[in-house]
Amino acid sequence: MKERAPALVAVLLLICLVVGTWWAADYAQRAIPIDPPRRITHEPDSWASNFVMVRTDTEGVAINRLEGDFMQHYPDDDSYEITTAKATGQQPGSPITVGTSNTAIMDQDGERIIMKGDAHVHRVADGDNPALDVRSEQLTILPDKDLVFTDLPALVVHGKSTMNGKGMRYDNDTRQLQVFSATDVKISGEESRPGQSTKSEKEEQP
C-alpha cells in the first residue's frame, strides 16, 4: 500500500490540475465579455475622391468607364455610390455613349449602373444615325449589354425629332429605340424622307 501511495497522490494531483484548469478557463470565458457577431449594415467601408473605374474586355481593351467626384463602397451588397457620376460606354462596333447624373449606384458586380437625378445619356452621331439624347429622373445602364432603359417619364431627342413617353429602352448594339406610352411626338421631316435608312435605328411608340 505504501508503494502505491505516491502513485495515488500523483493521480489525485493530476485530476485536481485538470479540474482547476477547466474551472479557470470557464471562469475566464465568462468573466471576459465577448463581442457579439458583427452586424452587416448598409454603411460604407471605403471611399475615394475623384473616383475612376475602367473595365476592359478579354483582350484588355477599355469598354466602359465610370467616374465621379466622390465614391463610397457598401460591403453588404457590394455596391458603389458615386456623386456627380459620368459613365462612358465604348463597345467595339457601337457609337460611344456618355451618361451623366447627380448620383449613381453601381451594383451586380458592375453589370448595372443606376443614374439618379437629372440623368442624361448621350449617344454620339455616327455615319448612319444622328445623335441621340435621353433625359429622365432615373436611367438604368447595363454596360456589358450596351442597354439603357427606364420606367419613368423620359424625353428622347433623336436628331431633330423629339418624343416624350413614360418608359423607354435603347439598345446601342442594334440601334433599336423604343419609347413607351409616347405623347407629344415630333418627327422631323428630314428623318422621315423616303430613302432614309431605318434598318439600324427603329423608333417605336407602342
| 180: three-class secondary structure by DSSP | coil
CATH classification of 48-186, choosing from 3.40.50.300, 2.60.40.10, 1.20.58.100, 2.60.450.10? 2.60.450.10
C-alpha cell at 133: 439624347
How many residues in total does the chain contain?
A: 206
Range from 34-43, 147-156, 189-198 carrying the lowest mean pLDDT? 189-198
Mean predicted lDDT score pLDDT of the chain: 82
At residue 193 the predicted structure's pLDDT band, cuts being 50, 70 and 90, is: very low
Question: Quick one: pLDDT at residue 110?
Answer: 87
Question: Quick one: pLDDT at residue 45?
Answer: 87
Question: Quick one: pLDDT at residue 189?
Answer: 57
Question: Residue 124: pLDDT above 70?
Answer: yes
CA distance 191 to 203: 11
Write down the pTM of the prediction.
Answer: 0.71
So where are the chain's domains? 48-186
- What average pLDDT does this structure show over 116-143? 93
Whether 115 contacts 99, CB under 8 Å:
yes
pLDDT tens-digit readout, 30-45:
776 666 666 677 788 8
At residue 20 the predicted structure's pLDDT band, cuts being 50, 70 and 90, is: confident
